Chain A
């Protein structure tokens, strides 16, 4: 089994290739939940949904979020009623939020709710929220702290930020399922997801770094030079007090990473890094990178 640490973009593109090569039952994905929020009375978990929809074969792979050919009837009428859902929630997507909202209200853990949804959607891979407790990423702006999703989706990242903070009532701890998945794997792969908002929240869960230090870990940098392959990583890395580059990313992972992969085009020189084509612009490129990583792990 291989365990992946994933956010909502980048790593899912790698998983698209991996799921063509492995039996899905041999894939576990530990997913960031620091962007989760209650929206319109129900529970939105953007990164879990992207990964779950990918394995269910219903992900809209043009946008890498939401369900393909979904409709937006409720969302559109809400706007006319003066309710601004800052994320376009599709009608089928909303059904998933409703189902999860009900399960959580009934006292289920997020891990159990995710497993139930995966079972119904025919997902055979193991999709694990990083934690069952609530932790949320906020960015600091001159106008105060705002939810990361609001910064990125509503304001499209076009806002000065000078800090990234995690808010929680109790410090988040990795679930038993997460630790077991890491320990029971042949290797752990950190995909090219945003190091600040997608991967660091997972690493900050109590128990994860320790488990990773005992495991073989391969990490893929999301940067080419100072530009991320996608998303708002540049401003976030700086606000996080890190250099926006593969070097800055490596700095976050160096205490546990065994193989660090950077793109062949990346001008930043990192001693010992493996150079591969990490720009997964299509299914073939995803497959190529997945093959290279599996070869690293299984050696053939």
Chain B
């Protein structure tokens, strides 16, 4: 089994490629929950939902979030009767959020609720929230604290990000522990470290688990080029949006660091691969390369 640490849009794109090689039952995904928030009475968990929707075959792979072909009747009607929602919630995605909120309010842990939802959507892979505790991050813009997801979905590119503030990092779950211990390798996908990966690594117990595992990490950045928001989030944790910075942030848990073949910012000892995931073929190709590295390492 291979476990992926996932957030944002890059890791799901890689996982789509991996699905061409591995059975879903051989894939576990530990999803970032730092962007989770309650909205309109429902429980929004974007990184969990992206993984779930991907394995259910209903992910909108144009945007890498939400359900393809979803409608927005409730969301579009809300501004007529009240203030509206900070970002679009599809009618089908809302059902998933409401269903999860219902399970949580009946006392289930987030892990159990996600498991139940995976069952009802007939998903073969294992999708695990990184924690059952509160890990919600907020962006300090200097004037206010806005939820990380809201920042990602609605903030204009110039918005200042002073720092990311959140609670004391909660503990990883037993489910995450078991998945990583049962895995041949852990792959840290090409997601923004500041917003998606560090929240997972910061969970109490996570780095210790990874030190005992074979870990492959893929840099999401090449040549210091990143969208404004991604760059701002990196600067908020004190680093530029470059592969060396990503390598520094992950530290000693990584066994193989993968950076783009064209990246001029060299990380000594890194494996150079084509990491751009513009289409399915590239994702499949990167997946083959990573699997080869893992097979070689564990054989």
Please encode chain A, from 253 to 289, with 1 for each CB lying within 8 Å of some chain B CB and 0 for all others: 0000000000000000000000000000000000000
Q: Is the CB of A40 within 8 A of B102?
A: yes
Known: A91-B77, A96-B81. A42 touches B40 (CB 8 A): yes
**Total cross-chain contacts (CB, 8 A):** 94
Q: Is the CB of A41 within 8 A of B96?
A: no
Find the B residue at minimum CB distance from A119: B81
Q: Report B262 CB to chain A, min CB distance, Å.
A: 43
A36, B256: Cα distance in complex, Å: 58
A117, B80: Cα distance in complex, Å: 9
Q: Is the CB of B74 within 8 A of A94?
A: yes
Query: For the complex, is A121 an interface residue (Cβ under 8 Å from B)?
Result: yes
Which B residues are in CB contact (< 8 Å) with A103? 82
Known: A81-B120, A91-B91, A98-B40. A121 touches B96 (CB 8 A): no
Q: A120: which of B81, B91, B117 is its contact (CB, 8 Å)?
A: B81
Query: For the complex, is A87 an interface residue (Cβ under 8 Å from B)?
Result: no
Find the A residue at minimum CB distance from B95: A77
Query: For the complex, is B101 an interface residue (Cβ under 8 Å from A)?
Result: yes
Which B residues are in CB contact (< 8 Å) with A92? 73-74, 77
Please encode chain B, from 102 to 116, with 1 for each CB lying within 8 Å of some chain A CB and 0 for all others: 100000000000000
Chain A contacts with B in 50-83, Cβ cutoff 8 A: 70-71, 73-78, 80-83
A94, B41: Cα distance in complex, Å: 11
- Secondary structure at the B interface, as helix, strand, loop or mixed, is helix
Find the A residue at minimum CB distance from B82: A99
Q: Is the CB of B71 within 8 A of A120?
A: no
Q: Report A110 CB to chain B, min CB distance, Å.
A: 15
| Central interface residue in B80, B117, B120, by most chain A CB within 10 Å | B80
Q: Is the CB of A83 within 8 A of B91?
A: no
Q: Report A70 CB to chain B, min CB distance, Å.
A: 8
Query: Which B positions have Cβ atoms within 8 angstroms of A?
Result: 40-42, 70-71, 73-75, 77-78, 80-83, 91-92, 94-96, 98-99, 101-102, 117, 120-121
Can you report 12 A-B residue pairs in the complex whose CB atoms are below 8 A from each other?
A41-B42, A41-B102, A71-B71, A71-B91, A81-B95, A95-B74, A95-B81, A102-B40, A116-B82, A120-B80, A120-B81, A121-B80
